[in-house]
Structure 1
Amino acid sequence: MADQTLAKEINERQILRFLRLGGSASRADIARHLEVTPASVTRLVNGLALRGLVREVQPEEKTPGAARDAGRPGVALALNPSAIYFLGVEIGVGILRYALIDLTANSVATSDVHVSRTITPEEVVDAIAAHVAMLERDLRYAGRVQSVGVTVPGVVNLEGFVINLPILGWKEVDLLTPLQAAVGRPCFVENDAGAAAFGSVYTMPELQTGCSVFLVIGRGCGGAAVMNGRLLRGASGATGELGHMRIARDGAVCSCGHRGCLESHVGLDALARSYLGTDSLEEAQFEALSAEVADRFNSGDPTAIASVADLAGWLSLAIVSLANIFNPSTVFLGGALGPVLSLIIEGLRRDVAAGIVPGLPAPEVRLFSLEPYECAIGVAAIAHQRCFDSSRVDKDMAG
């Protein structure tokens, strides 16, 4: 009986994932995909329909080009968007951002609230619990928020401990345990750059296979690698600390306390030191710095040209190393450094193609922009993916 229950759960999750990626499908499509009998598909689909997770749709709602079920002409199956929801929360400096996505992974509600720049973990838990309680009072979402994902701009392990979050002064903080107790449903904690990277891949079916590497460059330099639709986490969950890859023996002291990190050579602080001779700037000055340097570069300012060239050299060195390690099909670059990145993207492509191991295909180097709620939506997408992940069935059923 246990084996039958396990097989049923795996097949149900595979059906849900198939419908998410395809939009809709006939019962015959599903049977072919799962390699099971039509009768088995009917039983599985009926179970999902009773729980409100799937619905029948008419031909005009069906994905163009999808095969039609000869036994039931004109009828297809699709996810029911309003069946369940997933909440994502980004903990930023002085702000909490919330994003709610539905079963089809579409964002349905976003909001933010300004908080103290020195907010404590206890205050964060209280704020998130209050937001969940507010959703429970809304008839659209009451009883349907499946789980909660939270991002922090720091190092997180697999157990939800915030190992180090210097910008908020948190260290060795167990955020997960009190959060789950306060909201009464499954929760998890992720690094913000990793969540944003995963969310970007999750919305692009063409990137569900292969490997993509992301670098998000601002005051810091976060990153992530997503392979076959999964975020690489490593033994303790901290794989995404790509900004602390050592690319030199010296340089300014990084936020981690070491020298020679990628972050200390390509972040906005590094650009400020190179261009202005100091990194003692107000936050608003940092926010405007990349666009200012790009404008001066385009005007022929020699200091700006030299600063951009120095940054490009370090960044190309790092991307070559990442390409040799991960063998990605695509390297995405984004963040507050965007205006400067747009100046050097073509040169980076040439340098990376010339610098990787001979014979390896060069990855495509692309720019991507981070929207205000990208991290919150990304961590909600991780929660969503767990609902569809058949490889987690044993763990989820045990929990």
Structure 2
Amino acid sequence: MADQTIARSINERSILTLLRLRGSLSRAGIARELSLTPATITRLVADMAKNGLVREIGHGPAKAQAREPGRPGVQVALDPRGSYFLGIEIGVGVLRLAIVDFAAQLARSEEHPVPSRASPQDVVRLIGERIHALEADPFFAGRVRAAGVTVPGLVAHGGQVVNLPILGWSQVDLLLLLAKVTPLSVTVENNANAAAFGALYAQPSLPTVCTLFLKLGVGCGGAAVVNGRLLRGAHGTGMEVGHLRVSEQGPRCHCGQSGCLETRVNVAALARAARGRDDLDAAELARLPAEVAAEAKQGNGRSKAAIEHLSHHLGLGLVSLVNLFNPTMIVLGGLMRPLLVMTLPHLREIVADRIIPGTITPDILLSPLDEKECAIGAACLAHHRVFDPASLDVAPSIPRAGLTIA
């Protein structure tokens, strides 16, 4: 009986994943793609439709109708309203929330200010208040299935925040704190990992053989997605690309070292180059990339030089990463987006000119998501736990009526 239950869960998740990637298919089409019998697909789809996870949306092409007697061309698709997944970004001075529907599309987002050095308990208390507000919302009540939370620091397997110097946190069992304010199944992830995963998950057409993601803002976070999965390292704290050493000298990094890539390409580095000081407050730093970009377009020499300085060091970092990972694609996101738009051609030239000869140059593009990319990515990670058959042996059950696939 246990084996049958596991097989059923795997088949259900496989159907849902196929529909998420392909949009809609007939029952016969699903059976062919998954090498399952039509009777099995009919039974599973009927149960999932009863539980509000999938729906019929009409007829497919006439050719398909001709070869599928019995249920000619009726298409099955995910029901976007079947479930919702919450993503929460704990940032510097801000808490961002994003809700994605069952089709992994953004349904709602919100943003709340928090003290830049708020304690873990204070932030978790606000998270609990927002979750309770969602549960009281008639539109989402009872349909938020799981949540993901991101932080801009080291996160070990199991949700332990090892080190988060930007917020002054260290060795925080964030999952334990969150369990006190919500019964939802929650995952905790590094913010760059979440943003990288979300950028690809939200656009299944993008390649995932090996994709690198850099999030440039207050820090410089990095992530790698290999064959659709995040590369985390042995203990979950890998891919700290912002701490690649690019020189022996330079500003002191919050990690305690000098010469880190992060200190050359983050918003504080931009402030030093463009304003001659880096003691701007959080709001000023948030506005700075757009201001410097606008000034450079108007011919301001200092702003142009600041952008060139940033793109030079970022390009050198990308060359090292390409030589190490041989990625198919590099995605750039974060607060620096206004500057990244201007520097993409230069970055592509640096990478093409300086990587090991014979290496195929990866495409370099901007993240398809906006400033909500970390929150959306966290929601996508929670969403993925419902779909991924490989997570069956580790994912806790989701205590919601009608959802039998977790």
TM-score by length of 2: 0.90
Structure-1 separation of matches of 2:110 and 2:289: 27
Give 2:27's aligned residue: 27
Residue 196 (1) aligns with residue 195 (2)? yes
Residue 83 (1) aligns with residue 82 (2)? yes
Structure-2 separation of matches of 1:201 and 1:104: 14
Structure-2 separation of matches of 1:272 and 1:246: 21
Structure-2 separation of matches of 1:242 and 1:65: 51
Give 1:49's aligned residue: 49
Structure-2 separation of matches of 1:93 and 1:292: 20
Structure-1 separation of matches of 2:40 and 2:24: 18
Distance 1:66 1:118, change over 3 A: farther
Give 1:151's aligned residue: 150
| Deviation (angstroms), 1:182 | 2.4
Which amino acid in 1 is paired with 2:282? E
Q: Would you say the 8 A contact 1:146–1:185 is kept in 2?
A: yes
Structure 2: stretches of 5+ with no match in the other structure: 398-405
| Deviation (angstroms), 1:372 | 3.5
| Deviation (angstroms), 1:239 | 2.5
Distance 1:370 1:56, change over 3 A: closer
TM-score by length of 1: 0.91
- Is the partner of 2:82 in helix, strand or coil? coil
Shifted more, 251-260 versus 123-132: the winner is 123-132
| Deviation (angstroms), 1:30 | 0.7
Give 1:267's aligned residue: 266
- Is the partner of 2:394 in helix, strand or coil? helix
Give 1:58's aligned residue: 58
Structure-2 separation of matches of 1:105 and 1:182: 25
Structure-2 separation of matches of 1:56 and 1:194: 35
Q: Would you say the 8 A contact 2:335–2:371 is kept in 1?
A: no
Residue 227 (1) aligns with residue 226 (2)? yes
Give 1:385's aligned residue: 384
How many percent identity over aligned positions? 48
Which amino acid in 2 is paired with 1:54? V
Give 1:7's aligned residue: 7
Q: Would you say the 8 A contact 1:24–1:66 is kept in 2?
A: no
Q: Would you say the 8 A contact 2:166–2:254 is kept in 1?
A: no
| Deviation (angstroms), 1:205 | 1.4
| Deviation (angstroms), 1:179 | 0.8
Residue 282 (1) aligns with residue 299 (2)? no
Give 1:163's aligned residue: 162
Structure-2 separation of matches of 1:236 and 1:133: 33
Give 1:362's aligned residue: 361
What pairs with 1:196-345 in structure 2 (closer than 5 Å)? 196-207=195-206, 209-298=208-297, 300-345=299-344
Structure-2 separation of matches of 1:200 and 1:34: 26
| Deviation (angstroms), 1:66 | 9.8
| Deviation (angstroms), 1:75 | 1.3
Shifted more, 232-241 versus 23-32: the winner is 232-241
Structure-1 separation of matches of 2:16 and 2:4: 18
User: For 1:188-239, what per-residue CA distance to the aligned partner results, in whole angstroms no more than 9, with x for missing partners?
Assistant: 1112222122111111111253222111112211121122222222212222
Structure-2 separation of matches of 1:306 and 1:113: 34
Structure-2 separation of matches of 1:287 and 1:84: 34
Q: Would you say the 8 A contact 1:88–1:149 is kept in 2?
A: yes
Q: Would you say the 8 A contact 2:78–2:103 is kept in 1?
A: yes
Q: Would you say the 8 A contact 1:25–1:66 is kept in 2?
A: no
Give 1:116's aligned residue: 115
- Is the partner of 1:396 in helix, strand or coil? coil
Aligned Cα root-mean-square deviation (Å): 2.3
